[in-house]
Structure 1
Amino acid sequence: MTQRSRNTTALALGLGVAAAASLLTGCGGEQQPKQALKPLVIKEQTSTVTQGTGGFVVTWAGVISNPNRWYFGENIAATIVGRDAAGKEVVRMEQPLDAVPPAGSLKFTGQAMASSKPVDVKVAYKPAQWRRAGRIPSAFVPFPISASNTEKLGNGSYLVTGAVGNPYQKAATSLVVTALLRDRAGRLVGGASTYVDDVRAGSPRRFVLTVDSLNGTGPVAHADITARTWGSSGRPYEELAMSGALPPSTDRPKTPPFARDRGYQAMPVDRRP
């Protein structure tokens, strides 16, 4: 084979490969555009207005969820605006919210004072900024709540107590505990939040919070209590997940062993031919 024929053959092969690649691209082999991230979903929200010593107390509570499985929703803010009967704005507050974990939800509460009584309270939300998580969604184990109790105090107030644990090997420097109160129908009627610091694995920390301003909402049947990392960024939660979760059970039995074996019943032997 001459040099010219070799060059001709190489050129033909190159053109053939290019044509095949072009054909594959035309048949749907091109890169698909990235799927747009879905916005946060407002699942529930409620607000109450009660007379206080220095004016009117406006409280609110809500639940927002993150439909994106691989992304943190960060730098979120809620704007609360209350207007009186004449339509005049009597209270306005912007509340920074904590990050929403991938495929998770955020339960939050807030409170503000108004000089005159608002008859219309609206909550608007700033869109989230999205950041891809460094771990799979199942790595973000929830913080366990134990020994919870809800007690009615009077004047529309409820005392909520309990303990929050840490399922990770690394200590949680600061957690937000939120209690949402619901009536017998499961309807959200109010809530409150508190902070717990330095929660270490195997050492649950006690929390105490009071939910006020629930006059006229009916009896409370259930307290929905959750804990989360504090801050507009998901980094603290991600750092805990990177440290690794503890095994489901690491504690030794605390009860004495049985004095004797309880015995067992052996399965009959199958003697079929």
Structure 2
Amino acid sequence: MTYSTRTVTHGTLLVGAMALLLAAGCSGAEQRRQQVAELRPLTVKEQTSSVLKGDDGYVVNWAGVLVNANPWHFGEHVVATVVAKDARGNEVIRVEQPLDAVPPAGTLPFTGQVAVEDEPSAVSIQYRPARWHQAGRIVSAFRPFPVSGVLTDRKDDGSYLVTGYVGSPYALPVRSLAVTALLRDKEGRLLGGGSTFVDDVEAGEKRRFILQVKSVEDTRKIATAEVTARTWGSSSRPYEQLAFGGLAPMNTAKPTTPPFARDRGAPLPLTGENRQ
């Protein structure tokens, strides 16, 4: 009887422990589902499109800005579907454009362009909902990529040239960055834009970019070019790898002067003159 009682008691304890583990697992899964359900969807802050006559047909250009209001999650695998129809309502183009990951509490400026034979009369843009990925670092760890020396030039052929330099605040080298220029009029309205890529950006270096936009109907209306750079790819992995690698040191050059013979910060010895 003693052996049987101990067996039953031990088995009861095992069953109870397993029930607690299952309950904890279900509770954790439920919390994760609730957290995802509470995430706010990406919102379209602004977008625009244009159709211009080109050499071999028509050029359809679009630009927009998506906003991620969630402070702890990346929006991943977002796809923009661009549809253009002619005057009779026939679909002349349908393009699915994968967009880069939208950082936590951040924005995603993007542009796109395609050439078609038939003239479109209406262009619409729709977005596939994002998949959410919890960030491994706090928002302040994801530093922006500095853009400097931006110059613009209005060309005689109707195109608009944007050049400048992009750097990186991170210690690890950046394999590829997407550089986007949003073109605005003097009231701040979005007119269009263009994008390009810059590869192999090392810490402490600047790489030049050149952007030529040929899709704004009247470049004389352009007042500003808003240039940003971001990691390229539909997932957060490139950005997070850079953040985990840490920031580049502020000063990378070795000092050129000899060290002080005595540390200036050392306390003075107590003498008759300075003793109190």
TM-score (norm 1): 0.78
Given that 1:91 and 1:113 are in contact with CA atoms closer than 8 Å, whether structure 2 keeps it comes out as no
Q: Find out whether 1:250 has 2:259 as its counterpart.
A: no
Instruction: Give CA deviations for 1:117-171 in whole Å, capped at 9, x if unaligned.
Output: 1111000000000000000000000000011101111343110000000100000
> Following the alignment from structure 2 to structure 1, what is the Cα–Cα distance between the partners of residues 119 and 134?
43
Is 1:149 the equivalent of 2:120?
Answer: no
SS, match of residue 238 in structure 2: helix
Secondary structure class of the residue paired with 1:154: coil
C-alpha displacement at 1:113, in angstroms?
1.6
Report the structure, 1 or 2, having the larger helix content: 2
Q: Secondary structure at the match of 1:51?
A: strand
- CA deviations 1:45-83 (Å, max 9, x no partner) are 111101112211101011001111000100010000001
Partner amino acid, structure 2, of 1:183: D
After superposing on structure 2, the runs of 4+ consecutive aligned residues of structure 1 that deviate more than 3 Å are: 31-35, 251-254
Change (3 A) 1:175 1:39: same
Stretch moving more, 77-86 or 147-156:
147-156
Percent identity over the alignment is 56
Does the aligned pair in 1 maintain the 2:154–2:219 contact within 8 Å?
no
| SS of corresponding position for 2:242 | helix
**Which residue of the partner structure matches residue 118 of structure 2?**
116
Distance 1:179 1:251 in 2: 30
Q: Deviations along 1:19-50, whole A, 9 cap, x unmatched? A: xxxxxxxxxxxx98536110001001111101
Determine the C-alpha separation between the residues in 2 that align with 1:78 and 1:246: 34
Structure 1 partner of 2:8: none
Could you tell me how far apart the structure 1 residues matched to 2:193 and 2:247 are? Answer: 29
1:19-58 alignment, distance < 5 Å? 33-34=34-35, 36-58=38-60
Q: Distance in 1 between matches of 2:206 and 2:247?
A: 15
- AA of the residue aligned to 1:58: V
| 1:89-238 pair list within 5 angstroms | 89-216=91-218, 218-238=220-240
Letter in 1 for 2:251: T
Deviation by residue 1:245-266 (Cα, 9 ceiling, x = unmatched): 235x426699xxxxxxxxxxxx
In structure 2, what is the Cα distance between the partners aligned to 1:50 and 1:136? 43
Range that drifts further, 154-163 or 40-49: 154-163
Structure 2 CA distance, aligned partners of 1:218 and 1:67? 35
Q: Tell me, in whole angstroms, the C-alpha distance in 1 between the residues paired with 2:134 and 2:115.
A: 37
Q: 1:215 offset after TM fit, Å?
A: 1.6
Query: In structure 2, what is the Cα distance between the partners aligned to 1:238 and 1:97?
Result: 17
Question: Which amino acid counterpart does residue 182 of structure 2 have in structure 1?
Answer: L
Q: TM-score, normalised by structure 2?
A: 0.77
Q: Is the 8 A contact 1:43 1:65 kept in 2?
A: yes
One-letter identity of the residue aligned with 2:63: A
Q: CA deviation at 1:218?
A: 4.6
Pick which of 212-221 and 225-234 moved more: 212-221
Deviations 1:86-141 (A, max 9, x none): 11111110000010011111111101122211111000000000000000000000
Aligned position for 2:261: none
| Unmatched runs of 5 consecutive residues or more in structure 1 | 1-30, 255-273
Q: In 1, distance between residues paired with 2:181 and 2:156?
A: 18
Q: CA RMSD in A?
A: 1.8
Q: Which runs of 5+ in 2 are unaligned?
A: 1-29, 256-276
Work out whether residues 189 and 217 of structure 1, in 8 Å CA contact, stay in contact via their aligned partners in 2: no
Query: 2:81 corresponds to which residue?
Result: 79
Give, in whole Å, the separation in 2 of the partners of 1:74 and 1:108: 14
Distance 1:151 1:253, change over 3 A: farther
